[in-house]
């Protein structure tokens, strides 16, 4: 009788245990799917500052929500390297950078930052010593970034930026960088062959 009771008890326990394990697996799968969905929804940038030799790898947006602490870190990263002054950047610039890496087939690829924020005094100093610097540059408003990507042809990068149609795109082939900004859609090519001045 004791053996029968024990067997009956085991039969009762086995399905319950099976349900628990099944529930645990379902919870794990759900958690895994949620993590995967969050990762797919994360917008990340990997940047290298050519002046300060600093590098940043950061998730700046999740879904439609920009992350304030990440934006603050990016503002500092993109500071005027001559004065260390910081200004809040238009976060739409980061979307342009992220979409650029995607459009050239290198999602999340490292971007070299040639110039971020410039104070009015730094901008004037550049104007005095170099050519191709606008008096009212959008760098002063923290609405522009100059960049290149290691291993990526800069002309190809320019074409990808133009295709986005998300603001201004400048091309500086002799200095090997492009300019992107969140101003009106326009383009220019500094000291370029005529065929590149108005696009390809």
Whether 10 has a pLDDT exceeding 60, the answer reads no
Q: Please tell me the distance from the alpha carbon of residue 150 to that of residue 153, in angstroms, as a whole number.
A: 8
> Are 140 and 162 contacting, i.e. CB atoms less than 8 angstroms apart?
no
| Predicted confidence (pLDDT) per residue in 36-89, tens digit | 445 669 999 999 999 999 999 999 999 999 999 999 999 999 999 999 999 999
Condensed to tens digits (0 to 9), the pLDDT of residues 148-189 reads 999 999 999 999 999 999 999 999 999 999 999 999 999 999
pTM: 0.77
Distance separating alpha carbons of residues 76 and 21, to the nearest angstrom: 49
**Cα–Cα distance for residue pair 176/162, rounded to 1 Å:** 16
26 CA to centre of own chain: 34
| Residue in 94, 32, 104, 27 with CA at minimum distance from that of residue 62 | 94
């Amino acid at each position: 009788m004791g053996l029968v009771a024990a067997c009956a008890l085991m039969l009762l326990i086995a399905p319950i245990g099976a349900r628990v394990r099944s529930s645990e697996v379902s919870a794990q799968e759900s958690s895994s799917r949620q993590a995967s969905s969050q990762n797919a929804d994360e917008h990340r940038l990997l940047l290298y500052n050519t002046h300060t030799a600093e590098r940043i790898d950061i998730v700046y947006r999740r879904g439609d929500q920009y992350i304030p602490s990440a934006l603050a870190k990016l503002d500092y990263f993109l500071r005027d390297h001559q004065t260390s002054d910081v200004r809040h950047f238009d976060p739409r610039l980061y979307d342009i950078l992220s979409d650029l890496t995607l459009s050239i087939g290198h999602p999340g690829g490292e971007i070299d930052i040639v110039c971020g924020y410039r104070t009015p005094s730094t901008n004037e100093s550049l104007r005095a010593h170099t050519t191709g610097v606008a008096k009212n540059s959008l760098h002063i408003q923290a609405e522009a970034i100059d960049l290149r990507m290691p291993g990526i042809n800069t002309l190809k990068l320019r074409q990808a930026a133009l295709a986005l149609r998300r603001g201004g795109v400048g091309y500086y082939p002799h200095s090997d960088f492009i300019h992107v900004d969140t101003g009106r859609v326009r383009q220019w090519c500094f000291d370029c062959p005529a065929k590149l001045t108005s696009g390809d």
